[in-house]
Chains A and B, each alone.
Chain A
Amino acid sequence: MKRSREPIIWVLFGGGGMASALFLPVLILVLFIALPLGWVQSAPIDDLQWLVRHPLTRLGLIVFVMLCLFHWAHRFRYTLYDGLQLSHLNEVIAVLTYGMAMVGTVVGAYLIWGVG
């Protein structure tokens, strides 16, 4: 019996939902709002550079970006599919959304790994 490959996508979607739910609020609050407004002072710039250049951080970031992209791809796919009743374009939508997530992952990985 052929089983659909849906579990792979679902794990990426779910992982992305969980990772973004746990990490994005604090990242946005600190990096996008508190630091620019000067509410808080960042760690010394050398420390931050050491942090983002550390291979584990880079690896973690790459995985994080991949998960977020697939989370988006999955939700956006079904929003188009059901929300706009485009089920007849199922294949096109799937190729576009997951394809963009894959391209985004490769580009993101290339950029992030180039740090340091």
Chain B
Amino acid sequence: MSETLTVPETVILEVFRYRPEVESEPTFDSFEVPFHPEWMILDALNYIKDDLDGSLSYRWACRMGVCGSCGMLANGQPVLTCATYLESLLPGPIRIEPLEGFPVIRDLVGDIGDFMNKLSDVKAWLIRDEEKPVEDGEYLQTPSQLDDYKQYSMCINCMLCYSACPVYRLEPEFIGPAAIALAQRYNLDSRDEGAEERMDVLSQHDGIWGCTLVGECTEVCPKGVDPAGAIQRYKVSATMDYFKSLLMPRSSS
């Protein structure tokens, strides 16, 4: 190789700080952390907390892209900090901010209560008209039936899609990408019978119709869930439902 890769010794992180007992407006603190090619952003944050400033607050748990708790903005882009190499953001300084769209409690920690409520609003669980007794065995499913919803079941509730969605940030009543994708996950599940109940919530303006298909939710999703696609498919089925009920008002109960 004629060109040698220059690996920096250190990299600067500009970290969003908000300590409500100290300041009424957030500020940025700069930290110089050692650079390692194998380090993720989360490793650098952990270094800051362990060695530079123990008061820095942020959420993380699994550090393997499964728990969905370490989502933040890195240079303005929503990412899982445990799955984003420092190297990909060189030369720095790297700006770390909390996800947009959620009120900040402290530093990099947002209040996610709104999303939690929305998950239950859309009834993101299996609904059966009648549970069959345990003795009757499992609800069987073919591989093709599994394929129908598997993609949407990959969601880890990391909320990167909410942060990327301008509609949600402008109108927080909007149910938003992940919750609608998860509603779709259960609608498309052959064992589920709750599509109608969910439609009542989702066919409102704050449900699917608020979406203008910016498409950024799908772009930032670390799990390939494609919430934008889920919402568009939902619009199609809601439309067919609507015209069916216009044509046959009696059959829809």
Residues of A within 8 A of B (CB): 1, 3-4, 6-8, 10-11, 78, 82, 85, 87
CB atoms of B200 and A1 under 8 A apart: yes
Q: Which residue of B lies closest to A5 (CB)?
A: B242
Q: What would 17 A/B residue contacts be, using CB atoms closer than 8 Å? A: A3-B204, A3-B245, A4-B203, A4-B204, A4-B209, A6-B209, A7-B238, A7-B239, A7-B242, A7-B243, A8-B242, A10-B209, A10-B239, A82-B167, A82-B170, A82-B212, A85-B170
Q: Please state if B212 and A78 are interface contacts (CB–CB under 8 Å).
A: yes
Q: Which residues of B contact A78 (CB under 8 A)?
A: 212
Chain A residue with minimal CB distance to B213? Answer: A78
Interface flags, B196-240, vs A, CB<8A=1, else 0: 000110011100010010000000000000000000000100110
B residues engaging A (CB < 8 A)?
Answer: 166-167, 170-171, 199-200, 203-205, 209, 212, 235, 238-239, 241-243, 245
C-alpha gap A82/B209 in the complex (Å)? 13
| Cα-based distance from A54 to B171 in the complex (angstroms) | 48
Partner of A10, one of B171, B204, B235: B235
| Most A-side CB within 10 Å, residue of B167, B203, B245 | B203
Min CB distance, B41 to chain A, in Å? 30
Q: Are A3 and B203 in contact (CB under 8 A)?
A: yes
Whole-angstrom distance from the CB of A83 to the nearest CB of chain B? Answer: 9
Chain B, Cβ-Cβ closest to A79? B212
Report A11 CB to chain B, min CB distance, Å: 6
List chain B residues, Cβ under 8 A from A7.
Answer: 238-239, 241-243
User: Do A6 and B170 touch (CB < 8 A)?
Assistant: no
With both beta carbons as reference points, the residue of chain A lying nearest to B240 in the complex is identified as A7
Q: A1: which B residues are within 8 A, CB to CB? A: 200
Contact B238 A87 (CB under 8 A): no
Q: A7-B239, A10-B235, A11-B239 are in contact. Are A87 and B170 (CB under 8 A)?
A: yes
Closest approach, in angstroms, between the C-beta of B241 and any C-beta of chain A?
8
CA distance A3 to B196 in the complex (A): 12
